[in-house]
Structure formats: structure tokens, C-alpha cells
């Protein structure tokens, strides 16, 4: 995700404006006054600070002007107040013009909690499923940016990491090819077959704590996967798009699924 921290830009640009105003005021009184080495060094540092921000924002005209100023540090533009004031005024206006031509994305407060978060599903999920960490972060960024179908796409990829671990735990590994090349429907079918062979299906178990625990872990997780598969097919096969409400519902569902998995299983 491309980020730009406005506070740093605002700090450097405000410092440049204050410096420019000070030079202008001095130029009105003593236009030919020469600067000391200390003053010139201060101006050079100010230019370096704003140049870094202009580079990050790709402010083309400002970058060109700053390069010219750097190349002319030993020339007349910074030797007296009048020349320096004109150069700095030109730079301030050029930066303003450059910024006006830029497009920025606003993230509302209600979605800021999803943006660039490293543990949206919690620390336990990150530890149990390190392969899913980047996908979880990407899903959050998509929600923050109102890219709801893209968010669900990432959430389905997260779910697949969990599905693979669930299948491996139950020995439901395809014999012909690696599990990452298998279809969800085939993995689900293999899991159901293995559950029955282990006597863990709902119909085969007798009542008791063992049955309750097994139902909660395996059959419950499998029910989650079946439910998610409906959304997965819709998104992965371009059968429809997701609005914000659906994306948030899927987010909560996948987060709960992965948290329940992480409490018992891991990669």
C-alpha cells in the first residue's frame, strides 16, 4: 500500500513558509544584506528537508527547481535577502501548484482501523498461520479503500490456508497432486470422508464431551468452509461483486474461522 505521511510534509513545508516569510521581511528593510555561513547552511537544510518530501510525492516541477537551487548554492541567489526571497517565494508557489495536481485518497475514520494493520485477526492467528499475514493485511487495506470485492478475494485466500491445515490434520491430502492445486469441493469431500472413517461425523458419534469437542473443532470448522465456499465461487469465478456490508460479513466470518483454527491447529 502506497502511503504518504502528511505530518512530515506539513512540517517541512511549514518550515519553508516561515523561513520564506522571514527572508521577505528582512528583504524589505535590507534587500542587499548578505547572509552569514550559518544562515546559508540553515537554508540548505530547509531545502533538503522539503526536497525529500517532494521526491516522495513526485512533485516534478518542484524537484526540478530544487535541483537548480542545489546546483547554485554558491551563486548569487542566496547571497542577499532580495534574491533569496524571490527564489523561496517561487519554490513555495511551485510546490503548491504541484500538490494541487495530485490525487489523494481519503480513508474515513470508520475504516481507518483496517488500514495497514499487522494483527487484524490477532496475534494468535499470525503465529499459527504466518503464511496468511500479508493476505490479512491486504484484506484490511482493501476494506479501508472501499475495494470490497478485492477484500473478499484476499479473505478467501486466507481461508484456504486454514482449509489446507484442517485437511492435513485429518490426513485428507490428495494423492495425485499437492493440496494447493486441489479444488475446494474435493478437499471438503476428502475431509468428510476422513471424518467418517475416524468416527467423528455427527451421525456416528455417541453423546458426550468427546463428541461435543470434536463437533466444535472439526464439523464446526467444516461447516464454516462450506459456507465460505459459496462466497468464494462467486468472487473467484466472477459471478458477482461484493458490497461493503457483505465484505464486512465475510471479514468477520473468516476472522472467526481462523481464530478457532489457531486455537487448536497451526501450519
Does residue 36 surpass a pLDDT of 90? no
The answer to whether the CB of 166 falls within 8 A of the CB of 265 is yes
Query: What mean pLDDT comes out for the span 246-267?
Result: 93
Model-wide pTM > 0.85: no
18-27, 162-171, 178-187, 191-200: range with lowest mean pLDDT: 191-200
Mean pLDDT of the chain, nearest integer: 84
What would the pLDDT profile of 53-85 be if each residue is shown by its tens digit?
999 999 999 999 998 877 665 455 556 788 888
Higher pLDDT among residues 212 and 171, named by residue: 171
The C-alpha cell that represents 136 in the structure block: 490479512
pLDDT at residue 122 in the model? 96
The C-alpha cell that represents 70 in the structure block: 542545489
pLDDT at residue 213 in the model? 65
The answer to whether the CB of 148 falls within 8 A of the CB of 242 is yes
pLDDT at residue 239 in the model? 81
Calpha distance 31→24 (Å, rounded): 9
pLDDT at residue 78 in the model? 59
Query: What mean pLDDT comes out for the span 254-266?
Result: 92
pLDDT-derived band of residue 199, with 50, 70 and 90 as boundaries?
low
Calpha distance 216→210 (Å, rounded): 10
Which residue is listed with cell 544584506?
33
| Spacing of C-alpha 16 from chain mean position | 31
Calpha distance 159→137 (Å, rounded): 14
The C-alpha cell that represents 56 in the structure block: 516522495
Does residue 220 surpass a pLDDT of 60? yes
Query: What mean pLDDT comes out for the span 237-260?
Result: 91
Does residue 155 surpass a pLDDT of 80? yes
What would the pLDDT profile of 97-148 be if each residue is shown by its tens digit?
999 999 888 899 999 999 999 999 999 999 999 999 999 999 999 999 999 9
**Where would I find the H helices in 145-219?**
148-169, 184-197, 209-214
Calpha distance 81→34 (Å, rounded): 7
Dihedral, 144, 149, 151, 155 alpha carbons, nearest 10: 160
Q: Which residues of 118-134 are buried (b: 16+ CB within 10 A; e: fewer)?
A: eebbeeebbebbeebbe
Calpha distance 91→53 (Å, rounded): 13
pLDDT at residue 100 in the model? 94
Identify the DSSP state of 22. H
Please give the full DSSP string across 58-103, using - where no structure is assigned.
T-HHHHHHHHHHHHTTTSGGGTBHHHHHHHHHHHHHHHHHHHHT--
Calpha distance 253→267 (Å, rounded): 20
The C-alpha cell that represents 221 in the structure block: 470448522
Amino acid at each position: 500500500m502506497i502511503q504518504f505521511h502528511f505530518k512530515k510534509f506539513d512540517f517541512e513545508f511549514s518550515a519553508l513558509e516561515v523561513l520564506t516569510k522571514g527572508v521577505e521581511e528582512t528583504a524589505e528593510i535590507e534587500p542587499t544584506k548578505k547572509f552569514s555561513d550559518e544562515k546559508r547552511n540553515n537554508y540548505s537544510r530547509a531545502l533538503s528537508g522539503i526536497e525529500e518530501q517532494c521526491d516522495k510525492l513526485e512533485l516534478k516541477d518542484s524537484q526540478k527547481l530544487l535541483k537548480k537551487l542545489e546546483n547554485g548554492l554558491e551563486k548569487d541567489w542566496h547571497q542577499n535577502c532580495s534574491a533569496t526571497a524571490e527564489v523561496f517565494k517561487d519554490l513555495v508557489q511551485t510546490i503548491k501548484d504541484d500538490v494541487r495536481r495530485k490525487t489523494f485518497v481519503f480513508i474515513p475514520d470508520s475504516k481507518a482501523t483496517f488500514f495497514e494493520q499487522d494483527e487484524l485477526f490477532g496475534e494468535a492467528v499470525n503465529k499459527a498461520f504466518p503464511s496468511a499475514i500479508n493476505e490479512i493485511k491486504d484484506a484490511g487495506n482493501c476494506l479501508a479503500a472501499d475495494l470490497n470485492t478485492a477484500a473478499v478475494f484476499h479473505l478467501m485466500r486466507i481461508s484456504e490456508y486454514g482449509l489446507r491445515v484442517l485437511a492435513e490434520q485429518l490426513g485428507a491430502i490428495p494423492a495425485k497432486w499437492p493440496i494447493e492445486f486441489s479444488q475446494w469441493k474435493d478437499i471438503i469431500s476428502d475431509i468428510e470422508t476422513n471424518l467418517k472413517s475416524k468416527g467423528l461425523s455427527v451421525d456416528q458419534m455417541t453423546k458426550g464431551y468427546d463428541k461435543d469437542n470434536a463437533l466444535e473443532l472439526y464439523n464446526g470448522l467444516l461447516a464454516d468452509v462450506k459456507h465460505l465456499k459459496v462466497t468464494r465461487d462467486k468472487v473467484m469465478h466472477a459471478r458477482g461483486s461484493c458490497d461493503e456490508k457483505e465484505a464486512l460479513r465475510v471479514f468477520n466470518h473468516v476472522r472467526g474461522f481462523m481464530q478457532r483454527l489457531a486455537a487448536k491447529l497451526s501450519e
